[in-house]
């Protein structure tokens, strides 16, 4: 992990910590970085929406596509506090993001 990776992971952690006071909400955060800038940052919102697909990564990918006006996120890096699930991994692949960096593995 590079110094830049650590910087962006800290951003994802800060977003995860902004989950509010609901103890049932998973403290997961994600940022997507393109050309050295955060283009999206989201937290897990499955309970509050309620939406089973509102994982931090899915929400961040949606927001990144909205902010760029593009369907593809070529060259972008997704930083997640937890290893993305299968759904989020596939969304990252479909959006053609460059890299995925995560803090904790599913077995940690």
Domains of the chain, first to last: 3-104 (3.40.140.10)
Tens of pLDDT, residue by residue over 85-103, are 999 999 999 999 999 999 9
Supply the residues annotated as catalytic: 57
Supply the pLDDT for residue 24: 67
The rounded distance, in Å, linking the Cα atoms of 54 and 49 is 8
In 3D space, the residue among 86, 98, 97, 101 whose CA is nearest the CA of residue 30 turns out to be: 101
**pLDDT tens digits for the chain (108 residues)?**
899 999 999 999 999 998 666 666 778 999 999 999 999 999 999 998 999 999 999 999 999 999 999 999 999 999 999 999 999 999 999 999 999 999 988 776
């Amino acid at each position: 992990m590079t110094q830049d990776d650590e910087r962006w992971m800290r951003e994802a952690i800060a977003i995860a910590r902004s989950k509010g006071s609901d103890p049932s909400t998973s403290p997961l955060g994600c940022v997507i970085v393109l050309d050295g800038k955060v283009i999206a940052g989201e937290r897990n919102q499955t309970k509050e929406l309620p939406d089973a697909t509102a994982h931090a990564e899915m929400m961040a990918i949606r927001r990144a596509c909205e902010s760029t006006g593009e369907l593809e996120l070529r060259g972008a890096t997704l930083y997640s506090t937890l290893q993305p699930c299968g759904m989020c991994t596939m969304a990252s692949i479909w959006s053609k993001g460059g890299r995925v960096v995560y803090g904790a593995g599913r077995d940690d």
